[in-house]
Amino acid sequence: MDKPKIVQKSPIVLKMEPGKYAWCACGLSKNQPFCDGSHKSTSFKPVIVEITEPKTVAWCACKHTGNPPFCDGSHKKL
């Protein structure tokens, strides 16, 4: 698997509380946008991000962002 699986061509927007999160980079997780360990059979690894204050986050779901793990609009070019 050399390219990630596209989950959807729009971000997953969630209200997040402070904490550490593991964003799924491969697109195989059944717990999108977060990692569930499904990448273990691939060369992908999750991206760990720390949220320091409550906020709304647009998580990339196309997995092609240039600013992982956040949506940068790359899905519009897929």
Cα 78 from Cα 75, distance rounded (Å): 5
Q: Quick one: pLDDT at residue 1?
A: 77
Per-residue confidence (pLDDT) for residue 72, from 0 to 100: 98
Dist. CA 67–CA 78, nearest whole Å: 16
> Rounded to an integer, what distance in angstroms lies between the CA atom of residue 38 and that of residue 7?
14
**19, 42, 43: which is closest to 34 by C-alpha?**
19
Q: Are 47 and 23 spatial neighbours (Cβ–Cβ below 8 Å)?
A: yes
pTM assigned to the model:
0.94
Residue pLDDT tens, the chain, 78 long: 789 999 999 999 999 999 999 999 999 999 999 999 999 989 999 999 999 999 999 999 999 999 999 999 999 999
User: Any idea where the domains of the chain sit in the sequence?
Assistant: 12-77
Q: Let me know: does 30 contact 10? Beta carbons within 8 Å.
A: no
